[in-house]
């Protein structure tokens, strides 16, 4: 017991000494003020809100406590707006703002800074003669878009689940979809939500025998519930519409795939009725044999045609070659024109990825179903040993060779779209592209405008 008393006494003596030292530092003007973020409001380097919402900065502690010697200052873009210990920022317009709090004591200052991105309530749609649209994969970010050269942006952010629910997690993560929408609208660019089933990978096709999406929209009751879920999300997130990315028609049972295709038209009609006025509703369709099964899609604002990947250069013993030539774009477009769709309602797809061969057979052809994969265009540019690879459509320095769409071929495709009166082009996927002079979407923009 005596030892415990001595320990307690020693503790209070040390505390007193420390307190005296702290007071001496304050009195000598040597104490550096501190800001303790108990509410973690400055934990993230940026916050994203909509115009009309507020960003609250509270639960802060200051040392020394605010008073005669400790001054608090809140600024927005360098202009002082408060001297209180808490502040609520309520912007009256969209934009990007810097909120800063400073604590100053005897000439020394501590600061905390927050960037606030505000999505505007309204915006003016930019004028564009053609659709020039990067279609972002579920991993795409706002930073993957050069907003000055695009007319629209689509984001694959809604995956339909077997039970009819929707997985929005990739867009919701770190407010990714909110940033894409905010930056899009600040640049007068519509942002469209891509809705799909389970995709297989880089190329954007569905996972074989996965018909989650098609099965749900084939059931009128579950389709209606899905429409409500999607319309609510689009409205709350201020998105500009929906693309029905209907590539999950691959199933061994033709009747199932056929019914899925036949349900796309009614699904689009119900979406247009449920979404806010002037919302964009589009469909991304294939150019394979299933095109015969689609009912009318003319009530869509436009149709994105998956006009790449002819399927002739994969599989055991398949010859190596360009899987997305200009001739296949023409064939794919012709299919839909012959079905009665005007050219000015067709947006043709261009791949921002390449077909990579990893093993060949004795004849120099593709070895097997597992001997090839796909690689993003930006990764081809980054890893090729050929500094001029962007000017070509084949690279021999990677694996057993990679075929892709480089700038010359994409230029040809953009000219084909322009001279033949099509509505425009999209690339899959926008986040596979580069952000420099070798960019495919920039090539399309420069050629088509």
Give the mean model confidence (pLDDT) for residues 141-161.
97
DSSP 91-119: -SS-EEEEEEEEEEETTEEEEEEEEEEEE
pLDDT tens digits, 45-71 = 899 999 999 999 999 999 999 988 899
Give the mean model confidence (pLDDT) for residues 63-85.
95
Pair 299, 186 in one domain? yes
Question: What residues have CB less than 8 Å from 276, skipping those under 6 apart?
Answer: 234, 235
CA distance 169 to 165: 12
**Whether the predicted pLDDT of 390 surpasses 70:** yes
Q: Where is the domain boundary, 53, 88, 119?
A: 119
200 in a structural domain? yes
**What pLDDT is attached to residue 45?**
83
325 in a structural domain? yes
CA distance 271 to 264: 10
pLDDT-derived band at 288 (thresholds 50, 70, 90) equals confident
**Whether the predicted pLDDT of 27 surpasses 50:** no
Give the mean model confidence (pLDDT) for residues 302-313.
95
9 in a structural domain? no
The strand ranges marked E within 307-399 are 346-351, 353-357, 372-376, 394-395
CATH number of the domain bearing residue 50: 2.60.40.10
Pair 344, 290 in one domain? yes
Pair 114, 147 in one domain? no
pLDDT-derived band at 292 (thresholds 50, 70, 90) equals confident
Give the mean model confidence (pLDDT) for residues 418-427.
98
Pair 35, 138 in one domain? no
pLDDT-derived band at 255 (thresholds 50, 70, 90) equals low
**Whether the predicted pLDDT of 75 surpasses 60:** yes
Give percent of the chain with pLDDT exceeding 90: 81
Residue 86 contacts residue 57 (beta carbons within 8 Å) = yes
> How many domains, the chain?
2
**Whether the predicted pLDDT of 14 surpasses 60:** no
Nearest alpha carbon to residue 337 among 299, 291, 300, 293: 291
Nearest alpha carbon to residue 433 among 446, 444, 423, 422: 444
Grouping H, G, I as helix, E, B as strand and the rest as coil, residue 295 is: coil
Pair 36, 166 in one domain? no
**Whether the predicted pLDDT of 8 surpasses 70:** no
Pair 115, 135 in one domain? no
Query: For residue 79, with 0-12 CB atoms within 10 Å meaning exposed, 13-18 middle and 19 or more buried, which class applies?
Result: exposed
**What pLDDT is attached to residue 199?**
84
β-bridge partners, 70: 105
Residue 290 contacts residue 243 (beta carbons within 8 Å) = no
Pair 165, 246 in one domain? yes
**What pLDDT is attached to residue 186?**
98
DSSP conformational letter for 203: T
**What pLDDT is attached to residue 250?**
58
Cα separation values, 248 from 135, 159, 418, Å: 17, 11, 29
Pair 286, 345 in one domain? yes
Name the strand (E) or helix (H) holding 46.
Answer: strand 46-50
pLDDT-derived band at 430 (thresholds 50, 70, 90) equals very high
**What pLDDT is attached to residue 249?**
61
**What pLDDT is attached to residue 253?**
57
Helices (H) and strands (E) in the chain, counts: 10, 22
Of 63-72, 100-109, 136-145, 226-235, give the lowest mean pLDDT range.
63-72
Cα separation values, 59 from 43, 47, 48, 49, 419, Å: 13, 17, 20, 20, 61
**Whether the predicted pLDDT of 9 surpasses 50:** no
Residue 168 contacts residue 232 (beta carbons within 8 Å) = no
| Residue pointed to by tokens 């519509």 | 190
Pair 298, 261 in one domain? yes
Give the mean model confidence (pLDDT) for residues 38-46.
91
Pair 289, 187 in one domain? yes
Which two tokens mark 143? 């930073």
Q: Which domain holds residue 39?
A: 31-119
Q: Where is the domain boundary, 92, 119, 146?
A: 119
Which two tokens mark 70? 């400790």
Of 97-101, 294-298, 307-311, give the lowest mean pLDDT range.
294-298
Give the mean model confidence (pLDDT) for residues 428-433.
98
Q: What's the whole-number average pLDDT of the chain?
A: 91
Residue 31 contacts residue 64 (beta carbons within 8 Å) = yes
25 in a structural domain? no
CA distance 449 to 434: 20
Q: Where is the domain boundary, 71, 99, 119?
A: 119
- The strand pair at 166-167 and 70-76 is best described as unpaired
pLDDT-derived band at 252 (thresholds 50, 70, 90) equals low
DSSP conformational letter for 271: H
Pair 324, 193 in one domain? yes
**What pLDDT is attached to residue 293?**
81
**What pLDDT is attached to residue 290?**
75
Residue 233 contacts residue 193 (beta carbons within 8 Å) = yes
Note the residue count of the chain: 449
Pair 112, 139 in one domain? no
- The strand pair at 280-285 and 241-245 is best described as parallel
The strand ranges marked E within 161-210 are 166-167, 191-196
Which two tokens mark 329? 């774009």
């Amino acid at each position: 017991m005596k030892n415990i008393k001595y320990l307690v006494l020693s503790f209070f003596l040390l505390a007193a000494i420390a307190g005296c030292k702290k007071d001496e530092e304050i009195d000598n003007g040597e104490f550096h003020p501190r800001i303790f973020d108990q509410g973690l409001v400055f934990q993230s380097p940026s916050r994203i809100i909509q115009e009309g919402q507020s960003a609250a900065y509270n639960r802060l502690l200051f040392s020394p406590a605010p008073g005669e010697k400790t001054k608090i200052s809140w600024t927005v873009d360098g202009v002082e707006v408060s001297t209180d210990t808490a502040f609520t920022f309520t912007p009256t317009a969209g934009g990007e703002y810097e909120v800063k709090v400073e604590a100053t004591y005897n000439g020394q200052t501590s600061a905390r800074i927050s960037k606030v991105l505000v999505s505007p309530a309204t915006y003016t749609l930019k004028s564009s003669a053609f659709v020039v649209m990067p279609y972002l994969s579920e991993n795409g970010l706002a930073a993957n878009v050069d907003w000055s050269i695009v007319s629209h942006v689509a984001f694959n952010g809604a995956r339909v689940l077997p039970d009819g629910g929707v997985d929005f997690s990739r867009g919701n993560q770190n407010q990714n979809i909110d940033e894409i929408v905010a930056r899009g609208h600040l640049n007068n660019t519509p942002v469209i939500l891509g809705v799909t089933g389970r995709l297989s990978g880089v190329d954007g096709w569905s996972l074989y025998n996965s018909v989650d999406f098609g099965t749900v929209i084939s059931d009128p009751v579950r389709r209606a519930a899905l429409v409500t879920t999607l319309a609510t999300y689009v409205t709350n997130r201020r998105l500009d519409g929906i693309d029905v990315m209907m590539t999950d028609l691959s199933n061994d049972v033709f009747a199932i795939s056929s019914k899925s295709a036949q349900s796309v038209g009614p699904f689009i009609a119900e979406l247009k009725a449920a979404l806010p006025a002037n919302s964009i509703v589009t469909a991304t369709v294939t150019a394979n044999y299933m095109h015969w099964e689609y009912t009318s899609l003319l009530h869509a604002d436009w149709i994105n045609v998956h006009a790449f990947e002819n399927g002739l250069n994969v599989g055991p013993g398949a010859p190596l070659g360009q899987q997305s030539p200009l001739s296949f774009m023409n064939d794919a477009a012709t299919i839909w024109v012959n079905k009665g769709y005007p050219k000015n309602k067709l947006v043709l797809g261009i791949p921002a990825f390449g077909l990579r061969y990893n093993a060949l057979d004795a004849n120099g052809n593709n070895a097997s179903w597992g001997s090839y994969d796909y690689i993003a265009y930006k990764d081809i540019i980054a890893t090729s040993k050929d500094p001029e690879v962007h000017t070509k459509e084949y690279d021999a320095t990677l694996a057993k060779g990679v075929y892709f769409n480089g700038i010359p071929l994409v230029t040809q495709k953009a000219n084909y779209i322009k001279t033949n009166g099509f509505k425009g082009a999209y690339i899959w996927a926008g986040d596979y592209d580069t952000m420099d002079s070798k960019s495919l979407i920039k090539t399309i923009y420069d050629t088509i405008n």
